[in-house]
A and B are shown apart, each in its own frame.
Chain A
């Protein structure tokens, strides 16, 4: 079947097998930031945006993205950098394998809620597993980032 979509702002139109998962489609198109950590929609590593909203690309048929805009971390480098520097300052990126999914979902959170409290942060990101960090360093990084934003984003 034919699939037409925008991937990180670039129009794509091509033939795909109807059972292609969005995750596999994206990786085949060079978006290697999209990771697979499970087969059961439990880890959040495959998080991407569909029309700006986070979805799990491992449990989403590519066909369903027809006519939509898909964004991966490859397409959000600048927006991400501002935030990820705060995670790096904590050393909370560790192995890094969960990072892209986590960063995508965190950006989605910030877009939806510019001032989330701790409970809201934990709730929103609950589906993003990380086995290395114990989450505490990620939380410190998020809080520092939000603080910085509140102060107007100046260093």
Chain B
């Protein structure tokens, strides 16, 4: 392979590093209305009275909107970026008289500048009828207080949702008789694990600007991963035809799933549609932290059964997921907590998975890299580590004996076959990289500090089986350079470059000769969007097919120019050659000919979807130093071996992995979410919400142990999400091995470690 599997520079690298104006807020016109939201201070309340008169009359104010401007009995919608009909319940209105979390929008204000809008926000007088709130997700199901008592709440898919029980979804799945198998196991371990509603914390806040274009249509430029879903969502929210809307994304300053929910586009869209004036809304960091789309808080009860010889025979998992005030991604995230954790183990006689997803009066959750798998893998992998301890076995040995292998059928993974898997090699590699045999379980450093090591495995998917659609359109331009049009969104992942590499590989040209355009609902071929680890695998395959088709067209036109049959020519990327007499025409000549008296379109487009979702696999190991006195914990090194099939661009895959790993470490050690009794998030800034800095990590080392996935482009699977999952169990185990305590709620803060130590001492005396 000439360009695939090569570490080519990202196409936009030097522009981004040079600070060029390519993001939403850089591109928004200077003259535009500033949009801001007045937000509820109560977790559950009805707006009894709202007086906007003074605000409306204030200098510079263009418009103020409240629930009175929105039909309250209208159709509800969801902001989740998912294929229609969305599994997430339709539970939102643009502005609702009933506010359901601290931060729920109460009014939209648009004005000439920040200053006057801020002033007007303070002039709006609201009287709330404060209602009892459901804040603890453990008590939410069948709670007397309903988060969504309204009659026009609607679930379009059969996901077990019931608003009269505070249920956003409910599911059950099993193979074999779990209880019977567990009854015959030598060891049965039962544990509960808890993870919080962590924030994606992409550096670019949510933002969009809107204008009315030449044709009177609404033009939205948004930092979004999902241009097509966004168009549908806005159309439904505003009650206007989709044909009246165009959504475009410029460069995106990070997404990690946050921007797979149309968190804020509807507000400026509404303002511009009403006023016919250009408007923009850029979230503050505080809004990003308090009214966005974080990870679903989950509590997982695991029962795991094994024989004394180490054979893991059954896993029983119950997941309780907190979707918050609205159901975005609630029904779909929870399943992954089982599908992507239980399926790591290939020798099970039975498994069972049950789940409840509940509404509470907290900020709505959404999609965050890992999408439920992260939580489930933390629980199941930690349970396996605990099991190893109980069996007196090395946790790596226990895994070698039980992991899923290539060729296995994965019963908890929709019964899909494991078509490509180097998990065994990943484990062996990681064991060697970290020096497991010398370091396991721990080493006393002699200064009150102990270093422990721990391991975790992970898998994810590559797109959503039989649902995700990826498309690519390619054309030849003068001089013979190519344009690739996509609907997938490069949010820093480098997919523009990766997809161009795939096209270049097929077309036998350099990556520079393929320019990339995306994504714009008017111009791009349909793509579900960049989420669910789908872009390389699904859209990448579409690019491969489109490029193959384009080659044929180039040959056809070349053959016509040479006056011979299409079957008689070959194309080496530069020239079309007549095999019979050796005459040839260059790509540039063909391109010119295509623009004069030509009837063969040098364009191709291809739409792809895959019935299965071949999982990428990964093993990760942490070496952690714990100060037993202060509880201070530092990850000295984190090593990982990833099987993402063929890494299309090893550099970009490596950086993806390193970034994902550090996010996982942050979630394990420092990223906390706490609510006060009034339902307010306390971590509402980067001051309180501690994402890792470069001083918080020793070193991360990533290597690839590639399998070859025949269904993917050039053997590739996904990489984007799997990488966040292993640190949670690996670091948790390393801390246990250093200090002797299992922590079953994240993050594991120094306070918890110190308290855990004291507890341990109490028990042993």
Contact = CB atoms under 8 A, between A and B. Distances in A.
Nearest to A84: B17
Contact of A133 (B30, B284, B659): B659
Interface string A85-103: 1011111111111111001
A38 B205 CA distance: 9
A111 interface: no
* Residue from the set A92, A134, A139 with the largest chain B CB neighbour count within 10 Å: A134
A98 B21 CA distance: 13
Nearest to B702: A136
A126 B284 CA distance: 22
B201 interface: yes
Interface string B8-26: 0110111111111111011
A134 B655 contact: yes
Contacts of A151: none
A33 to B, nearest CB: 3
Contacts of B492: 94-97, 132
B57 interface: no
Interface in A57-96: 72-74, 77, 80-81, 84-85, 87-96
The interface residues of chain B, by DSSP majority, are classed as: loop
Contact of A135 (B17, B23, B662): B662
Which of B14, B286, B693: most chain A Cβ within 10 A? Answer: B693
Contacts of A123: 695
Contacts of B659: 94, 130-134
A42 B659 CA distance: 19
A132 B662 CA distance: 9
B18 A77 contact: yes
B694 A93 contact: no
Interface residues of A, number: 53
A84 B686 contact: no
B209 to A, nearest CB: 14
Given A42-B687, A97-B253, A126 B19 contact: no
A139 B384 CA distance: 35
Given A77-B18, A95-B252, A134-B659, A43 B202 contact: no
A139 B15 CA distance: 20
A139 B253 CA distance: 20
Interface centre among A90, A103, A136 (most CB of B within 10 A): A136
27 contacts: A17-B115, A38-B685, A39-B285, A40-B685, A43-B686, A80-B17, A84-B18, A87-B17, A88-B10, A91-B654, A93-B13, A94-B659, A95-B202, A95-B251, A96-B22, A97-B202, A103-B19, A122-B694, A122-B695, A126-B693, A129-B693, A130-B659, A131-B691, A132-B659, A133-B655, A136-B697, A139-B694
Given A28-B30, A73-B18, 15 more contacts: A33-B19, A35-B203, A35-B204, A38-B685, A42-B686, A74-B19, A87-B17, A88-B10, A96-B251, A96-B253, A97-B202, A97-B253, A134-B661, A136-B655, A137-B654
6 shortest interchain CB distances as A-B pairs: A95-B492, A33-B19, A96-B16, A97-B253, A134-B658, A91-B651
